[in-house]
Amino acid sequence: MTKRQKQRLVRGVLYLVLLAGVLAVGLLADWETTRRNFFNAQLAREMFPDVLTIAARNTLLYTFLAFSFGLVFGLVLALMRLSSIKPYRWLATIYIETFRGLPALLTIFLVGIGIPIAFGTRWPTLVTITLGLGIVAAAYMAETIRAGIEGVPKGQMEAARSLGMTYTWAMISIVIPQGFRIIIPPLTNELVLLIKDTSLLFVIGTTPATKELLKFGRDLLNTHANATPLIVVGAVYLAITVPLTQLVRILERRNARSR
Amino acid sequence: MATPANEVPAIEVRNLHKSFGDLEVLKGIDFSVMPGEVVCVIGPSGSGKSTLLRCVNRLEESSSGQVLIEGDDITHPDADVDALRSRIGMVFQAFNLFPHLSVLRNLTIAQQRVRRRRRAEARDVAERTLERVGLSDKIDAYPSHLSGGQQQRVAIARALSMEPDMMLFDEPTSALDPELVGEVLAVMRDLAREGMTMMVVTHEMGFAKEVGDRVVFMDDGAVVEEGPPQQILTDPQHERTRRFLQMVG
């Protein structure tokens, strides 16, 4: 056999495996039951418009709040890690390692039950949500932001300082803006992760008005004993996240070009 | 150049030492630049000349010794380093323009933040200094759209727009394509002619000979010899200077 014939043989086998897999699923699965349980058109229609006006809206709102909190607090943590003052560096490191190492669900749960115990009252749901998810987001974003700041060439800080700018001003007007430009793609990735992590917020306890997408879907799954709501909710997640990941791809390509 | 005996040097370096870990890169430098003087520092790479220049505005911390800027000790722990630096313009080998800002903003940002000038006033100064380096038409451009030579001229204009008392140049033409070196040297020549105090670390022997009032040859962390360019570059007294000049010449 020539090399070329061998290659063609391998390709043919790979296609056959794929075909066999599809056939196996197609012939072995119970399509009628699957259709009834996962693709009930009637039930799917009934989910609108609430799945968008309540559930998706809440998911986006929680994401926005946690992301904003994470961005501001993450920047503070990143600057602490780069600080010349040792205790600041330690504190930031401990914080970051702790909340990146814990399951997000555990942190959210702790915030949810911890605040009422520690402060004697329940805080508004939105505040609890922002904290619960934002605390985790800040830990991840701090590392991204730090990498961005460190990615700015040293000469930029030196040029700013040589003009008489203070460290703080040089950071604010020269280094941080350039650092953020570098990290827009990874930050968008973190935004996507955060969108999905809002599905963990159910542990804080929700009312019909504060349900996010997954909780909304799961509750309908329970009342109707039918999985269609999960499919619909999944489609809504994808409608939000896929455009964002595509955006990241475009931004990364542009960044690679400008370099 | 007439230098009254009682005049305060623009830059005075006294017994400066600098180590990176175990490596001593400056081994007790005594060095000065008088107001209006153009001093070119030459020497092989690794001789410590860039480190010396960076110690002058304290971008590099010295290990011991003093640096006086117009009589003020910038190495003193209580020195107002930012205020002193604003009197010293610095030009880097890699230009270090701010890529996210337009040429105009590159020239005005420190004027506004450090000199507390109003926007319109800062703009006026920026326009004037850009004219001096011949780049008035690039005021709204971004650094990435300029050639290396143009970027370095903008960098010079950025330093000049702070109206410094002296200028430090750290191998300002070393990162440039050969055909772009001339335009930068021309700007520096004009500056020297206008009486700017300049300390120039350079490999451009032609520039040192033509523009320099004094040439300082450094090797292995020490000043080997210094004097008028004619003398140092054509009739050096030390063997090391001779060897270096043969290599670059």
Q: Give the E-state strand segments of chain B in sequence order.
A: 11-20, 23-33, 38-42, 64-69, 72-73, 88-91, 166-170, 197-201, 214-219, 222-227
Mean pLDDT over residues B182-211, rounded?
A: 96
Query: Are B96 and A155 a contacting pair at CB < 8 A?
Result: yes
Residues within 8 A of B (CB atoms), A 129-188 only: 153, 155-156, 158-166, 169, 173-174, 177-178, 181
> CA A218 → CA A133, A211, A232, distances in Å?
20, 10, 11
Q: Please state at what angle helix A228-258 crosses helix A31-38, rounded to 10 degrees.
A: 80
Collapsed DSSP state (helix, strand, coil) of residue A240: helix
For chain B, percent of residues with pLDDT exceeding 70 = 97
Query: Are A178 and B99 a contacting pair at CB < 8 A?
Result: yes
Is residue B4 scored above 60 in pLDDT?
A: no
Query: Are B98 and A174 a contacting pair at CB < 8 A?
Result: yes
Interface test with B, best of A84, A163, A167, A168 (most B CBs within 10 A): A163
- DSSP bridge partners of B219: B222
Query: Are B82 and A166 a contacting pair at CB < 8 A?
Result: yes
Rounded to whole angstroms, how far apart are CA atoms B168 and B88? 7
Which of A158, A159, A163 is closest, CB to CB, to B86? A163
Is residue B3 scored above 60 in pLDDT?
A: no
Q: What is the pLDDT of residue A258?
A: 59
Residue A208 has which token pair?
A: 């019909």
Smallest CA–CA distance from A176 into chain B, residue? B100
Q: Which residues of chain A have pLDDT under 50?
A: none
The shortest C-alpha distance from B160 to chain A (Å) reads: 10
Smallest CA–CA distance from A157 into chain B, residue? B96
- CB-based burial of residue B193 (10 Å sphere; 0-12 exposed, 13-18 middle, 19+ buried)? exposed
Smallest CA–CA distance from B144 into chain A, residue? A258
Is residue B135 scored above 50 in pLDDT?
A: yes
Mean pLDDT over residues B211-229, rounded?
A: 96
Rounded to whole angstroms, how far apart are CA atoms B138 and B103? 7
DSSP states of A192-205: HHHHHHGGGGGGG-
Chain A residues closer than 8 Å to B96 by CB: 153, 155-156, 158-159
Is residue B1 scored above 50 in pLDDT?
A: no
Chain A residues closer than 8 Å to B99 by CB: 178
Q: Give the E-state strand segments of A91-167 in sequence order.
A: none
Chain B residues closer than 8 Å to A257 by CB: none
Is A72 an 8 Å CB contact of chain B?
Answer: no
Cβ–Cβ under 8 Å, residues A53 and A64: no
The shortest C-alpha distance from B239 to chain A (Å) reads: 36
- Average pLDDT of chain B, as a whole number: 95
| B39-67 residue pLDDT tens | 999 999 999 999 999 999 999 999 999 99
Query: Are B100 and A181 a contacting pair at CB < 8 A?
Result: yes
Listed residue (B41, B43, B45) closest to B240, CA to CA: B43
Query: Are A155 and B92 a contacting pair at CB < 8 A?
Result: yes
Which residue is listed with tokens 């490596």?
B23
Mean pLDDT over residues B3-10, rounded?
A: 75
Q: What is the dihedral of CA B11, B17, B18, B24, to 10 degrees?
A: 140
Query: Are B100 and A177 a contacting pair at CB < 8 A?
Result: yes
Using only the alpha carbons of chain B, give its radius of gyration: 18
pTM as predicted: 0.84
Lowest mean pLDDT among B4-8, B204-208, B235-239: B4-8
Distance spanning both ends of chain B, measured CA to CA:
27
Query: Are B113 and A169 a contacting pair at CB < 8 A?
Result: yes
Report residue B222 CA to chain centroid gap.
19
